Amino acid sequence: MLMFCCCLLQNSELFTLTYGALVTQLCKDYENDEEVNKQLDKMGYNIGVRLIEDFLARSSVGRCQDFRETADVIAKVAFKMYLGITPSVTNWSPAGDEFSLILENNPLVDFVELPDNHSTLIYSNLLCGVLRGALEMVQMAVDVRFAQDTLRGDNVTEIRMKFIKRIEENLPAGDDQEERKMVFY
């Protein structure tokens, strides 16, 4: 049991260290934080559109009836499965189309400190892209952004998610689907 826990810990460190190396590299490659934020979001999106398939295959979650259910699945199933944490779902808008995920601790930022000249860097912005990409694949267009960030001095990390609209199901042309399968598998 102890060895199993150790293994999980090491896997976490490989991911968080790799992520740190990626952010460092992006900061070298791009001139400003805004551009790095954009790249992280884009990369997260590319990961999200594939991660959803892994998620659906491994969890026994069915179609969500509404955005509230989606929020619960994201917090209690997805975050738990992939990052081992369960953020709380709060701050619902009156219309029920916007909520916050509050992360007491963000595993991505263990041992990370933002240097002074990167005050506008959204270090964990990959997460926003992942959520956006994953939800797009289940026909939901959402806007995801960090409202609070412990790396920037806030007490908690808060991700704000807003439902934009439902995406009509577009069945891809047969050839495209085959090509997609070839690249990922």
Partner 1 sequence: MADGVLFEFLHMEMVSHVFKDQQSTNGEMNNKDRAVCTSVLEGMGFRVGQGLIERFTRDSPSFKDELDIMKFICKDFWTQVFRRQVDNLRTNHQGTYVLQDNKFVLLTQLSSGKQYLDDAPKYLAYSCGVIRGALSSLGLDSVVTAEVSLMPSCKFQVVIQKL
In the complex, the smallest distance separating the C-beta of residue 153 from partner 1, rounded to whole angstroms, is 24
22 binds partner 1 (CB under 8 A): yes
**Segment contacting partner 1 (CB under 8 A): 20-28, 60-68, 92-100, 155-163?**
20-28
Nearest CB to partner 1, comparing residues 118 and 162: 118
Q: Which of residues 129-158 bind partner 1 (CB under 8 A)?
A: none
86 binds partner 1 (CB under 8 A): no
In the complex, the smallest distance separating the C-beta of residue 123 from partner 1, rounded to whole angstroms, is 14
Q: Which element (helix H / strand E) includes 161?
A: strand 157-166
**Segment contacting partner 1 (CB under 8 A): 80-88, 115-123, 142-150, 163-171?**
80-88
Close Cβ partners of 75 (under 8 Å, ≥ 6 residues apart) = 86, 87, 88, 89, 101
Give me the long-range contacts of 152-157 (CB less than 8 A, separation at least 24): 152/114, 152/119, 156/102, 156/103, 156/104, 157/102, 157/103, 157/105, 157/106, 157/109, 157/124
Going residue by residue from 46 to 65, which x/- string records binding to partner 1, judged by CB under 8 A? xx--xx--x-----------
> Which member of 1, 2, 27, 29 binds partner 1 (CB under 8 A)?
29
Strand ranges of the sheet holding 140-148, from the earlier edge strand across to the other edge: 88-90, 98-103, 157-166, 140-148
In 27-139, where do the E strands start and end?
Answer: 88-90, 98-103
39 binds partner 1 (CB under 8 A): yes
Q: Which element (helix H / strand E) includes 162?
A: strand 157-166
119 binds partner 1 (CB under 8 A): no
Which DSSP category does 31 fall into?
Answer: S
Q: Which positions touch partner 1 (CB under 8 A)?
A: 6-22, 24-25, 29, 39, 43, 46-47, 50-51, 54, 81-84, 107, 126, 182, 184-185
